[in-house]
Amino acid sequence: MGTGEISRVAERLSRDQKVFVITGAGISAESGVPTFRGAGGYWRNFRAEDLASPEGFARDPLMVWEWYTERRRNLLEVDPNLGHHAIAALERRVGAFLLATQNVDGLHQRAGSERMETVHGDIWATRCLECGDRHRELGLIHESLPPRCERCGGMLRPDVVWFGEYLPPEPLGRIDEFLRTSPGVDVTLCIGTTAMFGYIQAWALGTQAGGAMLVEINPDVTPLSAHADVCLRGPSGELLPRLMEMAFPSE
Ligand code: OAD
């Protein structure tokens, strides 16, 4: 990657733009959170698809809860990295901004992001399979698994979106509104995601068709790479602070 490409993106970002950011597990990799499909993406030889699905949970709720509990414990040990902080800073520098994250880890919020939608839910939230009661408690590690509803005793599930499930309508509606409202998006940054899902591709390519510069930030090639206007190859925790410094040099 030459300096030319990153400065092209920095130059676009610096012109008080409407910016849309999509993130995936890769943005949190440098915080020490394993990605789903990379090395370390397996857990006890199971793939994410086998654990994060209604079928996986029906087959073995205890095992799925052990996976989520281990992930919760890990998250108590980690902090947002420079990539999360750069995205929160970008939000404060441009006129119109929205972050759509597939991550459930809460690290964007901890870095200060506010204009954001969590399209796959929140790892600290649960939903009762019997009465539907929803509950969120940051930092809670259940002592007995699978955990039970305090109201009705029903089994709880993580209140996250699993493979084969619909996305929650409220965040989707707000993302659609942001993308539909004039003016159109000027820059779309797609960061640390394999972009496997149709809706991620549709958001990225849809904004590009409307005139946005589509930028991928990822050390590896993804299905989106061939369509991106610029691919910045490298870890987001290094590239994003560099991009911010070039777009908005400190006085
Ligand atoms: P993946 O694990 O599929 O992809 C992580 C991406 O991050 C890969 O493309 C890596 O190349 C990239 N990456 C790794 N290290 C990076 C770094 N330091 N900086 C930037 N990029 C880096 O994760 P997602 O695309 O987020 O869904 O996966 C999407 C969804 O699939 C998840 O939300 C989850 C998962 O199963 C559900 O649970 C429904």
Judge contact between 40 and 34, C-beta under 8 A. Answer: yes
Nearest residue by C-alpha to atom 9 in ligand 1: 194
Structure confidence at residue 40 (pLDDT): 63
Widest distance between CA atoms in the chain: 60
Catalytic residue flag (residue 120)? yes
Structure confidence at residue 50 (pLDDT): 87
The domain limits of the chain are 3-33+80-120+166-247, 34-77+123-160
Structure confidence at residue 53 (pLDDT): 93
CATH topology of domain 34-77+123-160: SIR2/SIRT2 'Small Domain' (3.30.1600)
Structure confidence at residue 219 (pLDDT): 97
Distance CA 161, CA 150 (A): 22
The closest-lying atom of ligand 1 relative to the alpha carbon of residue 38 is 2
pTM value? 0.95
Nearest residue by C-alpha to atom 33 in ligand 1: 102
Topology match between the domains 3-33+80-120+166-247 and 34-77+123-160: no
Judge contact between 161 and 167, C-beta under 8 A. Answer: yes
Nearest residue by C-alpha to atom 18 in ligand 1: 235
Structure confidence at residue 41 (pLDDT): 66
Tell me the CA–centroid distance for residue 26 and ligand 1, in Å. Answer: 5
- Show the tokens assigned to 132: 């539907």
- Return the CATH architecture of domain 3-33+80-120+166-247: 3-Layer(aba) Sandwich (3.40)
Burial string for 150-185 (b: 16+ CB within 10 Å, else e) reads eeeeeebbbbbbbeeeebbeebeeebeebbeeeeeb
The closest-lying atom of ligand 1 relative to the alpha carbon of residue 24 is 26
Structure confidence at residue 3 (pLDDT): 78
Structure confidence at residue 45 (pLDDT): 77
The per-residue pLDDT string of the chain (251 residues; one tens digit each, 9 = 90 and over) reads 567 899 999 999 999 799 999 999 999 999 999 888 776 667 777 888 889 999 999 999 999 999 999 999 999 999 999 999 999 999 999 999 999 999 999 999 999 999 999 999 999 999 999 999 999 999 999 999 999 999 999 999 999 999 999 999 999 999 999 999 999 999 999 999 999 999 999 999 999 999 999 999 999 999 999 999 999 999 999 999 999 999 999 85
The closest-lying atom of ligand 1 relative to the alpha carbon of residue 197 is 29
The pick from 82, 102, 233 for probing ligand 1's pocket by mutation, whose C-beta has the most ligand atoms within 8 angstroms, reads 102
Tell me the CA–centroid distance for residue 42 and ligand 1, in Å. Answer: 13
Structure confidence at residue 39 (pLDDT): 65
Tell me the CA–centroid distance for residue 103 and ligand 1, in Å. Answer: 9
Nearest residue by C-alpha to atom 23 in ligand 1: 25
Instruction: Give first-to-last CA distance, the chain, whole Å.
Output: 27
Tell me the CA–centroid distance for residue 32 and ligand 1, in Å. Answer: 13
- Show the tokens assigned to 124: 């600290």
| CB 24 near ligand 1, within 6 Å | yes
Distance CA 128, CA 157 (A): 6
